[in-house]
Amino acid sequence: MFLPRRALRHALFAAALSALLPFAGASAWAQEGPQLNLPRTKLGAGMYQIDVQVASSGLERQIGLMNRKEMPQQEGMLFVFEVPAVQCFWMKNTLLPLTAAFVADDGTIVNLADMKPQTTDSHCSSQPVRYVLEMNQGWFAKKGFKAGLKLRGAPFEGR
């Protein structure tokens, strides 16, 4: 079968596009609602217990707390990376004001950053970390927690 060049280009473009469409829904930007079904674990902070969702895959971390309209005070999200590195976060499509705790392998909070909703301002760890814990903004301050506090829980055991 013979196709003119222009028709062939259109056919190839359509085939390539249709091959990519199944992956279009995997984009964080296409995420319509909050991700609520991630695995959970408990962390300890001083005398408090935190119920956290664990975002460990690239897509889970990319979506994070986007599109969430509320989050209970004792809940948060723990982002887990494969290796320690300087981690930077922003709040595009995130509706809640949050505080990010950048956490070393042993559970020690390296630094805290308050983040405004729906901004692209970058908030980074002051040194390489593997974990970032996001909580409602003000949660750490209300409890008097600062850099140096050591979190407890399964992710930090044996490190």
**Nearest residue to 85 via CA among 114, 52, 118, 61:** 61
pLDDT at 85: 98
Residue 3: is its pLDDT beyond 60?
Answer: no
Burial of 90-128, coded b for 16+ CB within 10 Å and e otherwise, reads bbebbbbebbbbbbbeebebbbbbebeeeeeeebebeee
Question: Which two tokens mark 40?
Answer: 């959970």
What pLDDT, in 10s, does the model give residues 102-152?
A: 999 999 999 999 999 999 999 999 999 999 999 999 999 999 999 999 999
Under 8 Å CB-to-CB from 146, ≥6 apart: which residues? 109, 112, 140
Is 0.85 surpassed by the pTM of this model? no
What pLDDT, in 10s, does the model give residues 67-92?
A: 999 999 999 999 999 999 999 999 99
16 vs 134, higher pLDDT: 134
75 vs 1, higher pLDDT: 75
Q: Count other Cβ atoms within 10 Å, centred on residue 30.
A: 9
Domains in the chain with CATH codes: 29-156 (2.60.120.1140)
Q: What percent of the chain has pLDDT over 70?
A: 79
